[in-house]
Amino acid sequence: MTIVASPTPPTALIDRLVGIVGPAHCLFREGELFAYECDGLTLAPRTPLAVVLPATTEEVARIVRACRDFDRSFVPRGAGTGLSGGAHATEDSVLIECSRMNRVLEIDPGNRLAVVQPGVVNAELSQAVAHLGLFYAPDPSSQQACTIGGNIAENSGGPHTLKYGTTTNHILALEMVLPDGRIERFGNRVGEGPGFDWVGAIVGSEGTLGIVTEACVRLTPIPEGVETLLAIFDDVVAACRAVGRVIRSGVVPAAMEIVDRRTIEAVEASVYAAGLPKSAGAVLIVELDGNPVCLDGEIRLIHEACRREGCQAIERARNDEERTRFWRARKGAFGAMGRLAPDLYVHDAVVPRVHLPAILEKICEICDRYRLKLANVFHAGDGNLHPNICFDKRDPDELERVMKAGAEILEACVAVGGVISGEHGIGVEKRDYMHLVFDDSDLECMTRLRQTFNPDAACNPGKMIPTPRFCVEANPRARGYDAVPIG
């Protein structure tokens, strides 16, 4: 059968890639490339030149060297659940899909660590060590699908970030294929070392420094006692005020999440329904964990704080089954929005907690003004907002309003001292908003760090750091991404 519209791929490069990974793991037909044109961000899709699925570090290194020899760039990808387009690849980039590098190589319960390949699925790592009383703490909402490699690239957080920190607090050492094809190791198993903190620089670099091929991660003991409370409020702003009050009381919950009315409707209609009250304006989920003896006192403080902000009622998960249901509902919320509209633009911004109530009002006002359907479900404890705008991208007028509202939301967050991403990364989506939080010298500093590892930006080009005009002239590789119709 003939391949209809796809441009003829550079056969010699394809041959070389097939030689490295085998024909079953190198994709270049039109349909194959089409399915890889985007990740969790469906806006601004781009078709890669080819997709390769290596199984070992050595194969990744050989793929990188092959790309080098043919002067092509390359982009690493995990499960493609990212929401900022970090795994989008242009027509002259090879997409290196790590889904087959999914082995847990070592579990060391004594030192509470594990060594994994980047394609290991976040939730499956926790499952693999549960029998030892351990878990992997960062828990992004997509944890049942997303990979450790992707988590490292984006420095992913999750509901329990409030107490346990983000990915960067849980990575001890890394093996990385550098953009010139060399294999290097960074960090050590002890977690502390003299000299620069290279691991800290690599985590959250969105694949712009190299391709992580192995990670030594910290494991955390499963807490002895866990309590999950559901506080029901008339409106989302009151719930935000309660969050501030809880933090001021001195309690450090493991997680504090707010789910608003529209999100509750969507989730309760889905397979993740957990019996959240549909009449509530918002629900605040508070999870406490630790020594069971201490938890009762903390629960009293939470009750007190929520009551003072006028909460209607507080429910308490009676058992693990109920707790799991609450969390499945919270984590299925993003996907459940598909019930509200064909497309979804989930924003990700952080504001200092004290500004939560005011910024929530502002966001609602912005979306009302642009006649957009808004649903909020977010990590309230650390001020990490996720306004979800539901729309239909086939309507160009609506799409434009979505983009304008998004820009205003980010500007409003930055104006109160916030930042433009909490955990989803910058990717292509927010690259051109970086100037809202960084000035030219900050960006130049970042560019220099990237140049140290990735001198000509061949690895994941066009992501995270905006490219000044004069650089596009000097580096044609960056050009492809200028056409991104976002923002």
Partner 1 sequence: MASDAGGIPEREGVGSGLREGLRAAIYSKTLDCVHCGLCLQSCPTYRVTGRETASPRGRIYLMRGFAEGRLQDPELLVEEAFACLGCRACETACPSGVRYGEMLERTRAVVRSEEKDASLSTKIERFALREIVPRPRRLGILVGLLRWVQALRLDRLSTLLPRGLRDRVALAPRVPPRRERRRMPLLTPAEGVRRGRVALFEGCVMPELFGRVNDAARLVLSRAGYEVIVPRNQGCCGALHAHSGEIGFARELALRNVRAFTGELGQLDAIIVTSAGCSASMREAESWIGESGGVLADGVRDVLDFLDDARPGLPLRPIPKRVCYDDACHLVHAQGVAAGPRRLLQAIPELVLVSHRNPEACCGAAGIYNLTRPEMSRAVLQPKIDALIEAGPDLVATANPGCAMQLSAGLAARHSEIGVVHPIELLEEATRPVTA
Site residues for partner 1 per CB under 8 A: 1-6, 24-25, 27, 29-32, 34-36, 38-40, 42, 51, 53, 79-81, 97, 99-100, 102, 119, 121, 124, 142, 144-146, 267, 269-272, 332-339, 342-344
Task: Encode burial over 144-179: b for 16+ CB neighbours within 10 A, e otherwise.
Answer: ebbbbbbbbbbbbbbbbbbbbebbbbbbbbbbbbbb
Locate 97 and state its tokens.
């899909």
Q: Dihedrals φ, ψ of 81, to 5°? A: -105, 0
Reference 455, options 427, 431, 475, 434; nearest CA is: 475
Smallest separation (angstroms) from partner 1 to the CB of 330? 11
Smallest separation (angstroms) from partner 1 to the CB of 17? 15
Query: Do residues 59 and 124 touch, judged by C-beta distance below 8 A?
Result: no
Residue placing its CB nearer to partner 1 in the complex, 116 or 146: 146
Smallest separation (angstroms) from partner 1 to the CB of 36? 6
Q: Dihedrals φ, ψ of 383, to 5°? A: 70, 20
Residue placing its CB nearer to partner 1 in the complex, 281 or 335: 335
Smallest separation (angstroms) from partner 1 to the CB of 271? 6
Residue placing its CB nearer to partner 1 in the complex, 28 or 186: 28
194, containing H or E segment = none
Smallest separation (angstroms) from partner 1 to the CB of 434? 25
Helices (H), 178-235: 198-202
Reference 233, options 214, 246, 218; nearest CA is: 246
Q: Identify the three-state secondary structure at position 370.
A: coil
Locate 444 and state its tokens.
């130049």
Smallest separation (angstroms) from partner 1 to the CB of 337? 6
Smallest separation (angstroms) from partner 1 to the CB of 112? 24
Residue placing its CB nearer to partner 1 in the complex, 156 or 454: 156
CB atoms within 10 A of CB 324: 13
Residue placing its CB nearer to partner 1 in the complex, 198 or 391: 391
Smallest separation (angstroms) from partner 1 to the CB of 238? 27
**What is the tally of helices (H) and strands (E) in the chain?**
16, 20
Longest alpha-carbon distance in the chain: 70
Residue placing its CB nearer to partner 1 in the complex, 30 or 400: 30
DSSP letters along 10-25, please?
Answer: -HHHHHHHHHHH-GGG
Residue placing its CB nearer to partner 1 in the complex, 271 or 474: 271
Residue placing its CB nearer to partner 1 in the complex, 151 or 467: 151
Q: What is the end-to-end Cα distance of the chain in Å, rounded?
A: 41
Smallest separation (angstroms) from partner 1 to the CB of 118? 12
Burial of 91 (0-12, 13-18, 19+ CB in 10 A): exposed
Residue placing its CB nearer to partner 1 in the complex, 39 or 227: 39
Q: Which residue has the tokens 């009381």?
A: 249
